[in-house]
């Protein structure tokens, strides 16, 4: 009785195959032994394809290129930034749209970034002040506490604030006047 060795399968495609193995340089699967069943061949081909795809993604990521199209041939659309979503949320509230509903993440973003003119432009700040009038509970208390702490920090840090510091202080004063 003759004992046959199990087929040798090669899964790596980034290195040249050793002589006498089952893989050509093209990455196509060949039989390692005459007994390789169609099912084993299919499994091996799938594994090789998966590995090639993974290596291609890695190479593209290292090159700084966006991800390749998905299996359906479509690329994923870029998601809107948090700033855009929060400002749209605020505009929806101001227009009293029926589709508007409270979203904690949008409110949190607005409360964290309301003093930054780059993130919340002046044309939206007055709407934000109107929105803050309806602020209740711990969100209102925390906003007042943070505003007071930030005002004190700005006073201590720079006795004569520059232009950007003045605008931030003005926004802080408006928020404190409104909520206190």
Query: From residue 84, how far is each of 75, 89, 101, 117 by CA, in Å?
Result: 21, 9, 16, 14
Q: pTM score, two decimals?
A: 0.55
**HSE-up (13 A, CA, CB side) for residue 45:** 11
**pLDDT band at 123, cuts 50/70/90?**
very high
Query: Cα–Cα distance between 136 and 178 in angstroms, integer?
Result: 13
- Residue 31 pLDDT exceeds 50: no
Residue 148 structure tokens: 């007071």
Q: What are phi and psi of 92, to 5 degrees?
A: -60, -40
Q: Which 8-state DSSP code applies to residue 29?
A: B
Tell me the average pLDDT across 8-17. 54
144-157 pLDDT tens trace: 999 999 888 888 87
**pLDDT band at 5, cuts 50/70/90?**
low
């Amino acid at each position: 009785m003759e004992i046959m060795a199990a087929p040798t399968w090669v899964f790596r495609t980034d290195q040249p195959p050793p002589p006498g193995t089952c893989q050509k340089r093209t990455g196509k699967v060949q039989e390692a032994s005459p007994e390789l069943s169609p099912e084993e061949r299919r499994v091996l081909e799938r594994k090789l394809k998966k590995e090639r795809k993974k290596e291609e993604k890695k190479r593209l990521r290292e090159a700084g290129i966006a991800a390749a199209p998905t299996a359906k041939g479509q690329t994923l659309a870029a998601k809107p930034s948090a700033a855009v979503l929060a400002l749209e949320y605020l505009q929806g509230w101001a227009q009293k749209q029926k589709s508007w509903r409270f979203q904690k993440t949008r409110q949190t973003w607005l409360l964290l970034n309301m003093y930054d003119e780059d993130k919340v432009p002046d044309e939206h700040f007055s709407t934000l002040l109107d929105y803050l009038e309806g602020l209740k509970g711990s969100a209102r208390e925390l906003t007042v506490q943070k505003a007071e702490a930030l005002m004190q920090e700005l006073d201590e840090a720079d006795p004569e604030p520059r232009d950007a510091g003045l605008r931030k202080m003005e926004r802080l004063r408006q928020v404190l006047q409104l909520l206190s």
